Amino acid sequence: MAIEKCIHEFGVGDVIFEEGSTGRELFVVLDGQVEIAKIRGDTKTVIVTLGKGEFFGEMAVIDGSARSASAVVAAPNTRVMRINHARFVYLVSQQPAFALMVMDALSKRLRASNDRTYRAAANA
Protein backbone atom coordinates (compact mmCIF):
# COMPACT_ATOMS: atom_id res chain seq x y z
CA MET A 1 0.00 0.00 0.00
CA ALA A 2 1.35 3.43 -0.93
CA ILE A 3 2.27 5.59 2.06
CA GLU A 4 0.05 8.41 0.79
CA LYS A 5 -3.02 6.20 1.32
CA CYS A 6 -2.10 5.88 5.00
CA ILE A 7 -1.97 9.64 5.64
CA HIS A 8 -5.18 11.43 6.54
CA GLU A 9 -5.87 15.11 7.24
CA PHE A 10 -8.49 16.27 9.74
CA GLY A 11 -10.00 19.50 11.01
CA VAL A 12 -10.62 20.65 14.57
CA GLY A 13 -13.31 18.58 16.25
CA ASP A 14 -13.12 15.68 13.81
CA VAL A 15 -13.33 12.31 15.55
CA ILE A 16 -10.69 9.84 14.40
CA PHE A 17 -12.24 7.05 16.43
CA GLU A 18 -14.76 6.74 19.23
CA GLU A 19 -14.50 4.96 22.54
CA GLY A 20 -15.96 1.48 22.26
CA SER A 21 -15.36 1.20 18.52
CA THR A 22 -13.23 -1.56 17.08
CA GLY A 23 -10.10 -1.05 15.07
CA ARG A 24 -6.85 -2.82 14.38
CA GLU A 25 -4.66 0.19 13.65
CA LEU A 26 -2.66 2.81 15.46
CA PHE A 27 -2.03 6.38 14.39
CA VAL A 28 1.05 8.61 14.39
CA VAL A 29 0.59 12.38 14.55
CA LEU A 30 2.52 13.96 11.66
CA ASP A 31 1.25 17.53 12.20
CA GLY A 32 -1.22 19.15 14.58
CA GLN A 33 -2.71 17.79 17.79
CA VAL A 34 -5.05 15.02 18.85
CA GLU A 35 -6.84 14.76 22.18
CA ILE A 36 -7.45 11.37 23.72
CA ALA A 37 -10.62 11.85 25.72
CA LYS A 38 -13.53 10.27 27.53
CA ILE A 39 -16.80 11.72 26.28
CA ARG A 40 -20.04 11.39 28.22
CA GLY A 41 -22.91 13.33 26.69
CA ASP A 42 -21.79 16.95 26.44
CA THR A 43 -18.84 16.43 28.81
CA LYS A 44 -15.39 15.77 27.38
CA THR A 45 -12.54 14.88 29.76
CA VAL A 46 -9.19 15.11 28.01
CA ILE A 47 -6.77 12.42 29.17
CA VAL A 48 -3.82 13.64 27.10
CA THR A 49 -3.09 15.88 24.13
CA LEU A 50 -0.64 14.41 21.63
CA GLY A 51 1.46 16.24 19.07
CA LYS A 52 3.89 15.63 16.25
CA GLY A 53 5.72 12.32 16.50
CA GLU A 54 3.43 10.84 19.15
CA PHE A 55 1.12 7.91 18.54
CA PHE A 56 -2.20 6.58 19.78
CA GLY A 57 -4.46 3.58 19.30
CA GLU A 58 -1.73 1.12 20.19
CA MET A 59 -3.84 -0.92 22.62
CA ALA A 60 -6.35 -1.87 19.92
CA VAL A 61 -3.65 -2.76 17.40
CA ILE A 62 -1.94 -4.98 19.99
CA ASP A 63 -4.89 -6.80 21.56
CA GLY A 64 -7.84 -6.17 19.24
CA SER A 65 -10.02 -4.84 22.06
CA ALA A 66 -12.48 -1.99 21.75
CA ARG A 67 -11.08 1.53 21.92
CA SER A 68 -10.76 2.71 25.55
CA ALA A 69 -11.20 6.40 24.70
CA SER A 70 -12.03 8.68 21.79
CA ALA A 71 -9.46 10.45 19.59
CA VAL A 72 -10.54 14.00 18.70
CA VAL A 73 -8.60 16.45 16.55
CA ALA A 74 -7.57 19.56 18.50
CA ALA A 75 -5.70 21.65 15.90
CA PRO A 76 -6.41 22.68 12.31
CA ASN A 77 -4.75 20.76 9.47
CA THR A 78 -3.87 17.81 11.68
CA ARG A 79 -2.33 14.98 9.71
CA VAL A 80 -1.99 11.43 10.98
CA MET A 81 -0.55 8.25 9.53
CA ARG A 82 -2.56 5.08 9.99
CA ILE A 83 -0.59 1.89 10.64
CA ASN A 84 -2.68 -1.26 10.31
CA HIS A 85 -2.14 -4.44 12.29
CA ALA A 86 -0.12 -6.22 9.59
CA ARG A 87 2.22 -3.27 9.17
CA PHE A 88 2.52 -2.90 12.96
CA VAL A 89 3.50 -6.58 13.33
CA TYR A 90 6.04 -6.19 10.53
CA LEU A 91 7.57 -3.08 12.13
CA VAL A 92 7.78 -4.73 15.55
CA SER A 93 9.44 -7.83 14.07
CA GLN A 94 11.87 -5.95 11.83
CA GLN A 95 12.64 -2.84 13.90
CA PRO A 96 13.46 -3.56 17.55
CA ALA A 97 13.76 0.18 18.21
CA PHE A 98 10.13 0.62 17.15
CA ALA A 99 9.01 -2.15 19.51
CA LEU A 100 10.98 -0.58 22.36
CA MET A 101 9.45 2.83 21.61
CA VAL A 102 5.94 1.38 21.84
CA MET A 103 6.76 -0.46 25.07
CA ASP A 104 8.30 2.67 26.57
CA ALA A 105 5.19 4.72 25.76
CA LEU A 106 2.87 2.04 27.15
CA SER A 107 4.90 1.87 30.34
CA LYS A 108 4.82 5.65 30.83
CA ARG A 109 1.09 5.78 30.13
CA LEU A 110 0.40 2.97 32.60
CA ARG A 111 2.51 4.68 35.29
CA ALA A 112 0.63 7.96 34.75
CA SER A 113 -2.71 6.13 34.93
CA ASN A 114 -1.67 4.36 38.12
CA ASP A 115 -0.59 7.67 39.64
CA ARG A 116 -3.92 9.33 38.78
CA THR A 117 -5.84 6.37 40.20
CA TYR A 118 -3.80 6.42 43.42
CA ARG A 119 -4.26 10.18 43.88
CA ALA A 120 -8.00 9.90 43.25
CA ALA A 121 -8.32 7.09 45.81
CA ALA A 122 -6.22 9.00 48.35
CA ASN A 123 -8.42 12.09 47.97
CA ALA A 124 -11.69 10.15 48.26
% the chain with pLDDT above 90: 78
DSSP single-letter state for residue 28? E
Q: Position 54: which residue type?
A: E
Higher pLDDT: 93 or 2? It is 93
Residue 2 has pLDDT above 70, yes or no: no
Contact between 77 and 31 (Cβ < 8 Å) = yes
> pLDDT digits over 5-40, tens only?
899 999 999 999 999 999 899 999 999 999 999 999
State whether CATH 2.60.120.10 applies to domain 3-123.
yes
Task: Encode pLDDT of 87-103 as tens digits.
Answer: 999 999 999 999 999 99
Query: What is the pTM for the complete model shown?
Result: 0.86
Compute the average pLDDT of residues 29-53.
95
Mean pLDDT (the chain, rounded): 92
- Please, how many CA atoms are within 13 Å of residue 34, restricted to the half-sphere of its CB? 29
